[in-house]
Amino acid sequence: MTVVVPIGNAKPVPATQPQRIGVLLVNLGTPDTADAQGVRVYLKEFLSDPRVIEDQGLVWKLILNGIILRVRPARRARDYQKIWNAERGESPLKTITRSQAEKLAEAIADREHVVVDWAMRYGNPSIRSRIDALAAQGCDRLLVVPLYPQYSAATSATVCDEVFRALADMRAQPTLRVSPPYYDDPDYIEALAVSMSEHLAALPFQPELIVASFHGMPQKYVDKGDPYYTQCVATTESLRKRLGLDASKLILTFQSRFGFDEWLQPYTDKTIEKLAKDGVKRIAVVTPGFSADCLETLEEIAQENAEIFRHNGGEQFSAIPCLNDSEPGMDVIRQLVLRELQGWI
C-alpha cells in the first residue's frame, strides 16, 4: 500500500484506494413474522411515519396505540399467512426483492466495482443496515432505487427521508443519487404490456375488460400537491395506447384505502362489485403500481376482490402478476440503474 508523506508530526495516511459504487434497491416493507406480534411491530413503524399519516398528533397516537395496534395485527396476520412463503419463512415481497437484487447483480457483473444490495423501508433489512454494509465494502458512491414506478411522498420521499437520516450519522458520507420514478418509461410500459399479453393469452377465458388497480392515498394529499394521481393516470394512458385499448376496456381504480378520509377514486373493490352487478362475467386485474407481488396484490386483489366479484355475479377473475423478477421486469430495473449510473461507470 502506498503512503502519503506526513507533514510535520502528522501520522502517515494511507493513499486513497479505488472505491466502489453501491446500488440499493428499496421496497416498502414487510413484517418479519406472519403473526400478530410481527405485524404489530411493522404497523407501528409504518403508521408512525408522518409521510404515511401526516397528522401524528395526540388523537392519532391514541387511535394507533389504543385501537389499531390492539385489533388490526391479528387480522392482518391471518392475511399474511394466506400468502406467506413458508419455505423461506418470509413474505413474498422479501423473497422477490432479494431475487431482483441478485439478478441485477448478475446482469451487471461485468462492472466489478458495482455492489448491489436491497432493503425495506419498514422492517428488515433496514435501509440504515444496508447503507452501513455497502460503506463497509468500500462504496463511496450510492445509487438508491425506490422500487415504486409512480412517485408519492408516502413511498419514494420517505425512502429518501430514511436514507438522509442514515447519512446524517456518517462522517464519511457516500456521494448520493436517487433514481426517479419511471411511471411512463417506455421500457416499463413495454414490459407491462408484454407481461399482460402473455398472461391473458394463457387464460382459458377472454376478459371483457381489464382493471388497472393502483394503491390509493387520501385525496387531500393530492390536493396538497402530491403528483401520484397524475402519474397513475399517465401510466394507464400509456398502457392503453400500447395495448390498443380504450378507456372502457382498461379502467383505472385505487385500492387499499384506510381510515375514514376520502381516498382517490374510483375504489377498486366498489368498482369490481358494480361490474359484477352490472352483468360483467369475466375480468382481469393488473397492478401497475407495484414492482413486486405482495399482500396487496396476492391477498387483497387475487383473493379478496376475486371473492367480491364472484359473490356479486361475476364468474371468471384473474389477477395478473407483477413484473417481479421476470425477464421483462429485470430489464426495466437494469436499464434504469445503468442510465442513472452514467458518469460513474
- Evaluate whether 20 touches 138 at the Cβ level (below 8 Å): yes
Joined together, the cell numbers standing for residue 124 give: 428488515
Interval 159-184 mean pLDDT: 97
Interval 88-100 mean pLDDT: 98
Distances in Å between the Cα of 224 and the Cα atoms of 49, 163, 259, 329 are 18, 24, 19, 32
Calculate what percentage of the chain has a pLDDT beyond 70.
Answer: 95
Quick check: 54 pLDDT over 70? Answer: yes
Joined together, the cell numbers standing for residue 229 give: 394521481
Quick check: 69 pLDDT over 80? Answer: yes
Quick check: 104 pLDDT over 60? Answer: yes
pLDDT at 2: 42
pLDDT at 1: 43
Length of the chain: 345
Joined together, the cell numbers standing for residue 254 give: 385505487
- Evaluate whether 43 touches 73 at the Cβ level (below 8 Å): yes
* CB proximity list for 190: less than 8 A, separation 6 or greater: 242, 328
Domain 186-319 class, CATH top level: alpha beta
Interval 60-66 mean pLDDT: 96
Q: Across the chain, where does the E strand assignment appear?
A: 3-4, 13-14, 20-30, 114-123, 139-146, 175-178, 209-215, 250-255, 282-286, 316-319
Distances in Å between the Cα of 287 and the Cα atoms of 83, 100, 192, 319 are 17, 18, 10, 8
CB atoms within 10 A of CB 235: 25
Smallest CA-to-CA distance from 292 within 124, 84, 94 is with 94
Quick check: 4 pLDDT over 60? Answer: no
Look up cell 436491497; give the residue: 118
Distance CA 304, CA 207 (A): 19
pLDDT at 9: 55
Distance CA 32, CA 244 (A): 42
Joined together, the cell numbers standing for residue 106 give: 448478475
pLDDT at 10: 53
CB atoms within 10 A of CB 246: 7
Angle at 176 between CA 171 and CA 180, to 5 degrees: 155
Look up cell 385500492; give the residue: 255
Confidence category of residue 19, pLDDT binned at 50, 70, 90: confident
pLDDT at 259: 84
Q: What is the rounded average pLDDT for all residues in the chain?
A: 95
pLDDT at 112: 83
- Evaluate whether 261 touches 218 at the Cβ level (below 8 Å): yes
Distance CA 17, CA 225 (A): 45
Smallest CA-to-CA distance from 149 within 101, 187, 181 is with 181
* CB proximity list for 9: less than 8 A, separation 6 or greater: none
Interval 139-159 mean pLDDT: 98
pLDDT at 31: 98
Joined together, the cell numbers standing for residue 278 give: 352490472
Annotated binding site: 215, 296
**Residue limits of CATH 3.40.50.1400 in the chain:** 20-182+328-340, 186-319
Domain 20-182+328-340: assigned CATH number: 3.40.50.1400
Statement: the pTM of the whole predicted model exceeds 0.85 = yes
Annotated binding site for Fe(2+): 215, 296
What is the distance of C-alpha 54 from the center of its chain? Answer: 20
